[in-house]
Structure 1
Amino acid sequence: DLNEIKLKTGNVYESIAIIAKRAGQINISLKEELHNKLEEFASHTDSLEEIHENKEQIEISKAYEKMPNPALLATQEFMEDKVYFRKNEEDLFR
């Protein structure tokens, strides 16, 4: 509910900006985690003809596709007061 989101900061746009920034952080973290897991199974060959499907890589990718959207995770964290944020007074006057 937008009213509940607005109550956290007093401004719905500020709340959405905080959620968006947190979603970006979550997204980067998930991408790095996925990349690291997939890298464990990667075969390091220079030939394009030797590309093959690795079942472990496919299963890991499918598991990450089923995970909730980072924006949903960020919104949930925000509503549960698990996101730390502060106002930067300098940014208000730029």
Structure 2
Amino acid sequence: MASNASIITRDNQKIADPSGNVYESIVVIGKRARQISAQQKEELNSKLAEFASSVDNLEEIFENREQIEISKFYERMPKPSTVAIDEFLDGKLSFRRPDLEELES
């Protein structure tokens, strides 16, 4: 992922150009961000499930460095909304409007 993790100002016109409407663009970006977020959460949960223990040993909880490193890695990743905006502006997302397709048919 080549997305910038910091906050940057976006040009509303560049966001509006692919769909012709800034609000439609935001809906597309939001849906993609939710997909990315769900995927990242699933990956994180599967990696953390390897460390799940049925025994509540206090020493084990504090000494699990691999689990901490995995969590820190996911915290440092760019936010799903940033990745979705970058994908949208780079033309990597395709979207369609079913209501307009029905009217054209």
Pairwise TM-score range, normalised by the shorter structure = 0.7 to 0.9
Gaps of 5+ in 1: none
| 1:1-94 alignment, distance < 5 Å | 1-45=11-55, 47=56, 50-51=57-58, 52-53=61-62, 54-89=64-99
TM-score by length of 2: 0.78
TM-score by length of 1: 0.86
CA RMSD between the two structures: 1.3
Per-residue CA deviations over 1:31-80 (Å, capped at 9, x if unaligned) read 000000111122233x4xx2513111100000000000100000000011
Which residue matches 2:3?
Answer: none
Per-residue CA deviations over 1:1-58 (Å, capped at 9, x if unaligned) read 110111110000000000000000000000000000111122233x4xx251311110
Structure 1 stretches of 4+ moved >3 Å: none
Counterpart CA distance in 2 for 1:4 and 1:30 is 27
- % identical aligned pairs: 51
Larger relative contact order (C-alpha < 8 A, sep ≥ 6)?
2
Give the number of aligned pairs. 87
